[in-house]
Amino acid sequence: MTAMAARGVKLHGFGFKILGLERVGHLLASADSAAWSYHARRRPPVPGHTHKNCANCIDYAMRWRTRVLASIPPWQQPFLDAA
């Protein structure tokens, strides 16, 4: 991955786990995972939500994202373009 990223290849981490993001997330242009949805599907909804579970819930997804980014050292985090 390091060699490809050094050559300018934009890498995508399909199904990456948090440990993988901690190690090589800074080399990725993007990444995704269904872990948050799987996790939410097996738990009660966030308090105040009326749906059966939060498997497709933007609030749950954003909370998960915040936790993932907080677990990765700042120097290992990908550049996040707000555009």
Model pLDDT for residues 37-68, shown as the tens digit of each residue: 999 999 999 999 999 999 999 999 999 889 88
Which amino acid belongs to residue 61?
A
pLDDT recorded at residue 83? 41
Each residue's pLDDT tens digit, 25-45: 889 888 888 888 999 999 999
pLDDT recorded at residue 82? 45
**Considering the entire predicted model, what is its pTM?**
0.69
User: Do residues 9 and 24 lie in contact, with contact meaning Cβ atoms separated by under 8 Å?
Assistant: no
Cβ atoms within 10 A of the Cβ of 40, count?
22
Query: What does the alpha-carbon distance between residue 41 and residue 71 come to, in Å, rounded to a whole number?
Result: 22
pLDDT recorded at residue 79? 58
Question: Is residue 78 scored above 80 in pLDDT?
Answer: no
Cβ atoms within 10 A of the Cβ of 73, count?
9
Query: What does the alpha-carbon distance between residue 11 and residue 22 come to, in Å, rounded to a whole number?
Result: 15
Which residues, 6 or more positions from 20, have their beta carbon under 8 angstroms from its beta carbon?
Answer: 13
What is the domain partition of the chain in residue ranges? 13-75
